[in-house]
Structure 1
């Protein structure tokens, strides 16, 4: 096997069969989602990458383009526990994490779990709640646990937060704290549908909502197995250095006030492993990292005042930085 920037891929004897299983299940989930989200294969693929990389997904776009529909379609495609949290200005942190309530009968405090106690948590319009409430997700997103009073409660795997938000220019929104944005592995935008897809939507949704007819095509146990397969995907030392170089470039430029964190590097590599596995490869290519740089890194960056005043977007700055980082030379396994 020969791959750019790799030294070969040390795989076990069952790697091929594992990737076939992963490809089959991913295909079933993708087809299920595309029954309600038409003409957006890249967005659906990004959601599946984040799921298999054990990350969290932020869907940002204007109202009415299908953010919540995508979230619900992915959640319904997996036979696991799903909770939806409607982030409103009056939502409290305890509504998210849970609260201890005194039981008059037992004379003891009992923990009542909040909305995050599920395999997939759909956070609808997350930036309409206050930053204090948004911050209630910090611990559970990073450490897969919740601490309330003196008790710590583990969250069952798989655990994924799929949050939707409107652009911050919209009325009644709060900007997500930097620490919150950094915990989302990727941010995607759905965009408006093409004309043919919008016309088809008018026909398919005239009598009922097709999302109500979606049935699960896999379950939590199988998703855990697929995540374990993704974790075994090989990342060569050259590709690891390339990932560090990409994120390091965002920290050294004077065009950005805030560059990508070490967590961003971890997320970029984990997402690339899932991306490679979905494409039936047991090794990561530099092109995988370049493809994922925008969805994984852009939402973590803050442009400098000079860049903002000159009209340069964060995406344009990131694209230029990625283009300037040398790509590892192909290496051949002896």
Structure 2
């Protein structure tokens, strides 16, 4: 690894070994979230792609633990928001409070002003409160009473949600889902990992023993290094072809947005960097197409009746869209 040096403004100048640093972060998270290496890697890909992660599954499988473990592996500001039906938008973004002494309004930052925001059970809040995250997730800023406040970098929202058939949940609007770079389902652990969990957590909490292995400046340097990865014209055209294929599919009534293509390419860059490569392959795009695209799509009525899923549709499109060659 190349030793990083800091400039006067606090940024990191020298190049860093993304694969090595990423492996260190992943190793720390995997000590807490056992038997889920693929899920941990996807979370790290989203972090390095400057995106946001939606973790969806039934209660009790470790959604919040994953979010807190990734946050604990980075020495940066972390805030957790428990989304409930009575949560207000101002609780998330902040509010301007009148100061009696100065006779002026003073802005009190909300919970979203952190490097890592853990939005727990996001779909238990009302759509109005969910919408409070729209601006900060896309523009990295919050506007209150006409004044915009920049958010710190890195900034990632790691949201957990329960399936919609659970009681007391509200569906995320399409605009909200489109701002999440990827969606992942935790799934149940295998018997060996679950047995190890029963032994390890009988007397100790692995989250309490987790120590940061990177700081915010290092993450910014990793993100910058990922952004410098070479992407050939053929890979770019392949990404566009996949996105266009979702818009033409008879099984979908809403295809992928241009934002989806941008985030798919960013995620592919991060995945390639974690593998130690300086260029993106079509394999990187294919491996991330389902988690990046599926949650943004809406099925047609015929596909719904046929019990198709958006994941199945994306997988079918991967088989039908030719891989373009060239450099």
Structure 2 length-normalised TM: 0.95
Specify the alignment match of 1:3 in structure 2. none
| Aligned position for 1:305 | 301
The Cα of 1:23 is off from its aligned counterpart by: 1.6
- List per-residue Cα deviations over 1:111-157 (Å, max 9, x = no partner): 00001000000000000000110000000000000000021000010
The residue correspondences of 1:69-218 to structure 2 (distance < 5 A) are: 69-218=65-214
**Secondary structure, aligned partner of 1:99:** strand
Which runs of 5 or more structure 1 residues have no equivalent in the other structure?
1-16
Question: Which whole-Å CA distance do the structure 1 matches of 2:210 and 2:313 have between them?
Answer: 40
Q: Which residue does 2:240 correspond to in 1?
A: 244
Structure 2: 5+ residue stretches without partners = 1-13
RCO higher in structure (CA 8 A, sep ≥6): 1
CA distance in 1 between counterparts of 2:308 and 2:55 reads: 22
Give 1:18 shift.
4.0
Correspondence for 1:49 among 20, 27, 45: 45
> How far, CA to CA, are the matches of 1:210 and 1:131 in structure 2?
34
Query: SS in structure 2 opposite 1:84?
Result: strand
Distance 1:179 1:241 in 2: 25
Measured in 2, the distance between the counterparts of 1:122 and 1:94 equals: 17
Which SS does the other structure have where 1:83 is aligned?
strand
Q: Which runs of 4+ in 1 moved over 3 A?
A: none
How many equivalent residue pairs?
A: 314
2:58 pairs with 1:62: yes
Deviation at 1:317, TM superposition (A): 1.2
Is the aligned partner of 1:293 residue 2:284? Answer: no
Counterpart secondary structure, 1:326: coil
Q: Distance in 2 between matches of 1:280 and 1:122?
A: 29
State the SS of the aligned residue for 2:32: coil
Residue by residue over 1:165-218, the C-alpha shift from the partner in whole angstroms, topping out at 9 and shown as x without a partner, is 001111111100000000000000110000010010011100121111101111
SS of the equivalent of 1:35 reads helix
CA distance, structure 1, for counterparts of residue 20 and residue 265 of structure 2: 23
SS at match of 1:38: coil
